[in-house]
Amino acid sequence: MSKPAAGTLLFPTAGAYVAFSIDAEMTLEALHDEHVAEVTKNMQTKYFVGYVAKADRIINHESEFQSFRVEILREGFPPRSEKEGIEADMCTPVWPTTEHPSSRAPLRTNNPLPWNNCYHSSFDSIIVRVPTAYEDAEGAVMLLPSEISRHETIIESDRQRAYATFKSRQPIPPVEETSASDGQISPRNRSQESLQNELLPDDDRDSAKSAQEFAQAIVNMAEMDRPPETMITVEMTYDLTGSYVQTLTDPQEFYIEKKALEKLEQDTKTAAIERARRLDEEAFGGAPTQSSAPQAIAPKAVNATPVPWLTRTRQRIASILDSILARFRRSKPFASHATPPS
């Protein structure tokens, strides 16, 4: 698959149709396991097509990867699933395909797709990780922005309808006593309420501590916005006419490959824990040790040093924090001599 060319726009851009395949090696590279590397190297490559709906996380141009939500394209109507309440009409055709059981209007693109009988199931949304790259979207098949919004509304409506059908077919559960948690404030709301009711500390040390904790919370949020190290990673291209995409691959093939990689990851971690346990038993004669607990896997080497963008984020926060504290200390003497109103 061709690599993204140099350009000014973040690749891929929202609304663009892309051909993509799972990069199994890059997906599990963070495990640093020779067996995993060998297995993933020999996995068969399958190509899929879909459009990029939106970024899954906050875009950070200094990060090595970005993550996006992609709507997979399929040939023909999706299969009906009575168990899950999914009907064959819960899909949307893509122009020039127009046939639909409920006469649903097709999604319009700037150029026609090179295949016929193209549909988006309302249940084939995936989140994938993509190496950060830049490429102008000139020549890409694009959905109009209004069509992306319309498709999101269709997806939400179909999913609500499927869920309602699913629930209607479930046996009615017996009425139980109200749980102790009923009527309590949710953790998020409770934390917001407690923050509003707390008195701000007057002591400089407490103020500094509170500000530092707030800054650390921002850093933690930034770390959470990084795509997970073993998120399904794909190669993408705007080129839909390449020899690698003769026909549209069934989206189920993507889920099968994804599940295989997740099992390989879990098996590898389980084996690492077992190896660590055996080493502990050999070294300490079976005596229980802290290292024999499930936390035996050492932190991944890639996490040993903060990535550059995170380091710079911490530096910027520290600078802002210093400025806030400096203004606080300068203003406090004047506040201490304030005269109460008569």
**CA 121 to CA 150: how far, in whole Å?**
14
Q: Is residue 307 part of a domain?
A: no
Q: Is residue 334 part of a domain?
A: no
Q: Is residue 156 part of a domain?
A: yes
Structure tokens at 229: 């190290």
As a whole number, the mean pLDDT across the chain is 78
Amino acid at position 2, single letter: S
Identify the band that residue 19 occupies on the pLDDT scale cut at 50, 70 and 90.
very high
Q: Specify which residues 93 forms β-bridges with.
A: 119
Angle at 144 between CA 142 and CA 145, to 5 degrees: 115
Identify the band that residue 319 occupies on the pLDDT scale cut at 50, 70 and 90.
low
- Pick the more confident residue, 286 or 199: 286
Check whether 23 has a pLDDT greater than 50.
yes
Give the range of the structural domain holding residue 240, as residue numbers without chain letter. 10-169+231-270
Q: Is residue 99 part of a domain?
A: yes
Q: Is residue 24 part of a domain?
A: yes
Q: Is residue 147 part of a domain?
A: yes
Which region holds residue 313: left if phi is over 0, alpha if psi is between -120 and 50, else beta?
alpha
The predicted model scores a pTM of 0.68
For the chain, how many structural domains are there in total?
1
Structure tokens at 269: 């971690």
Q: What are phi and psi of 181, to 5 degrees?
A: -85, -15
